[in-house]
Amino acid sequence: MTEPMSRIDPPARQPVFNRFPAVLVWLAAAIAAVTAGQLFGPPQAEDWLLRAGAIVTGAQPPRPLGEAAPYILHVFLHGGVLHLLMNLAALAAFGPPVAESFGRGLRGTTGFLVFFFICAAGGAAGQVIAAGGEPGIAVGASSALSGVLAAAGYARGGWGGAARMAAPWLLINIVLAVSAAAFPIPVAWAAHIGGLIAGLLLFPPLLMIFGARSRAGRDVSSPGLD
């Protein structure tokens, strides 16, 4: 005997975060937590975090975690709530296809994090090189996210997709670099370019190392010439 249609329970819906790569949730939570401590904690905490993690050019402050730490840790610090929200939105927008390309297991999670932080280090190196010893400070996850943006294009469309995603962002930052010569702008354009280049160069070989495949099922380590 069949039940009346009104009594049939609708199919259970999957929570949205079950479909969202867990590595992005935890990474976003860590970035938000550290930034909250920086922005809303006591002044001593902000001072320690900036000395430990900010990209500082020119005269160097004492580094409690060593000279190399800022190349990674700057992604956990931000210049304000709006800066943080913009970067978290970018992580949500561009991160999923990249994380899915690596896969959801331990190997894939490791691959994504290695890629993310290598892009961060590439961005930090770009900022240091471009500064040329001039004093300055830079924080934020946009260095790494610039590489993630390029990788998202590659994951969706090979080298052609990467070019379509990366070219506008590269052009914007070149314009910012040229404009900064006349009108100083508090945007770390060199970190963006450094992270973008790192993402373009390193996403394909890291996929080979971690053995991931694209959503279409083909080996993304050997993309078509599109």
Tens-digit pLDDT profile for residues 204-213: 999 999 855 5
Residue in this structure with the two tokens 């945007």, named with its chain if needed = 187
* Residue 198: CATH number of its domain: 1.20.1540.10
Say if 8 falls within a structural domain. no
* pLDDT-based confidence at residue 1 (cuts at 50, 70, 90): very low
Say if 136 falls within a structural domain. yes
Residue 218 confidence (pLDDT): 43
Low-confidence winner among 1-5, 169-173, 205-209 (lowest mean pLDDT): 1-5
Whether the pLDDT of residue 76 is over 80: the answer is yes
149 in Cβ contact with 192 (< 8 Å): no
Say if 11 falls within a structural domain. no
Residue 71 confidence (pLDDT): 98
Residue whose C-alpha is closest to residue 189's, from 113, 136, 112? 136
Whole-prediction pTM: 0.85
Say if 70 falls within a structural domain. yes
Burial 166-178, CB ≥16 within 10 A → b, else e: beebbeebeebbe
Range of the domain at 63: 21-210
* pLDDT-based confidence at residue 17 (cuts at 50, 70, 90): very low
Identity at 88, one-letter amino acid code: L
Supply 44's token pair: 């001593």
- Residue 7 vs residue 32, higher pLDDT: 32
Say if 28 falls within a structural domain. yes
Say if 61 falls within a structural domain. yes
Say if 117 falls within a structural domain. yes
Domain count, the chain: 1
Whether the pLDDT of residue 201 is over 90: the answer is yes
Please give, one letter per residue, the 3-state secondary structure of 45-99.
Answer: HHHHHHHHHCEEECCCCCCCCCCCCHHHHHHHCCCCHHHHHHHHHHHHHHHHHHH
Say if 151 falls within a structural domain. yes
Whole-angstrom Cα distance, residue 125 to residue 157?
A: 28
